[in-house]
Amino acid sequence: MYSLDINFLNDRPDYKPVTAAKSSGRKSSGGIQDQSAMIGALLFAFGLNALVMGAWWWATGENTKLAGEQAAIEQELAKLTTQANVIKAINTETDKVTAEYKALA
C-alpha cells in the first residue's frame, strides 16, 4: 500500500555519485564587477527620484509665482473697475446735463 523510496546506493562506496570538485574555501566577495548592475540600477533610481523632486520643486515655485501675479492682476482689476464705475457715473451725469440743456434750448 505504501512505498518507501530510499536511495541505498549512497551508502555503498562503489556507487557514490561524483560530487562537484570543491573550489577554494574562499567564496567571491562580490566585487565591483559583480555589483555593477545593482549600482547602475541604484543610480538610475536616485536620478529618477532627483528628476521628479526637481520637477516638483520647479512646479511649486512656478505655482507660487503665478499666484502672486494673479493677486496683483485681481487688485489692478478691482482698481480699474472702480475707475470704470466713476467714468460711467460721469457719463450719466453728462447725458442728464445735455438732455436738460437741449430741453431748455
Q: Does residue 47 lie in a domain region?
A: yes
Q: Does residue 43 lie in a domain region?
A: yes
Question: Torsion over CA of 95, 97, 103 and 105, rounded to 10 degrees?
Answer: -120
Domain that holds residue 63: 36-104
Q: Does residue 73 lie in a domain region?
A: yes
pLDDT above 90 (res 47): yes
pTM, entire model = 0.51
Q: Does residue 31 lie in a domain region?
A: no
Number of domains in the chain: 1
Q: Does residue 28 lie in a domain region?
A: no
The helix, strand and coil proportions of the chain, stated in percent and rounded to the nearest 5, come to: 70, 0, 30
Q: Does residue 30 lie in a domain region?
A: no
- Is residue 28 helix, strand or coil? coil
Q: Give the pLDDT band (50/70/90) at residue 88.
A: very high
Q: Give the pLDDT band (50/70/90) at residue 22.
A: low
Q: Does residue 8 lie in a domain region?
A: no
Give the C-alpha separation, 82 to 89, whole Å.
11
